[in-house]
Amino acid sequence: MREIVFDTETTGLDPAKGHRIVEIGAVEISNLIPTGRTFHFYLDPERDMPEEAFRVHGLSTAFLTGQKKFREIADSFLEFVADAQLVAHNAEFDMRFVNAELAALGRPAIEAERVVDTLAIARRRHPGAANSLDALCQRYGVDASRRDKHGALLDSYLLAEVYAELMGGRQSALVLQSAVTAEAEELGVDLLRGRPVPLAPRLSAEERAAHAKFITALAQEPIWRFYATPEPDAPAAEAALAARSA
């Protein structure tokens, strides 16, 4: 399932009072695993930056002046999102700003039914506990040491990990696969190509002969025989492959 985990930084708390988005970041995930595709822009809000907002994200008026405007990235944002489900922490806040920006451009709002609020999920799972993104990172062992200030793309990455935990945790098979891959890289083994030196066959000559006799007893030659690598001691299969390709 394709989903987009996203976050925004703004000049304030209420778009109805003229506040704007100054940063938007998004991470694409598939079945709770990041795909590597991201979307990220700093945005010129075309207004001043209040001191209280600057203290949260550290984005100054001087830095943002000359960055792209939301109207310049709206199409690419909607194209990136496409029909995916959106995931945000305290989603109502972010969606109010996104939909206000879209409304200013005459674009339709993104429906609330498409949005998952991880704050609401966390409150149901951990009633009475702190459920800020920082608190959830600490609870689930997600490394948030780089988060000295809020940042839309970094927070989206962190939220993607938290979201996976909220939905039941990372699949053990994927963790195992990562461990196997790391071990294979350490040993210099290319998993896509297989072993550098194939294992010696464990079938005896008698077993091979019995299997070959069984195959010849079939009413029709199995189709897989024409695609399998011929055994060195199976001239009949090699001859069949040659005849098939002639």
Q: Catalytic residue numbers?
A: 150
How far is it, in rounded angstroms, from Cα 73 to Cα 102?
Answer: 11
DSSP state of 47: S
Q: Which of 120, 118, 119, 102 minimizes the C-alpha distance to 110?
A: 102
Say how far apart CA 154 and CA 144 lie, in whole Å. 9
Mode of pairing for the β-strands spanning 85-88 and 115-117: parallel
Question: What angle is formed at CA 141 by the lines to CA 81 and CA 176, rounded to 5 degrees?
Answer: 80
The SS3 assignment for 181 reads helix
Q: Which residue has the tokens 């189709």?
A: 223
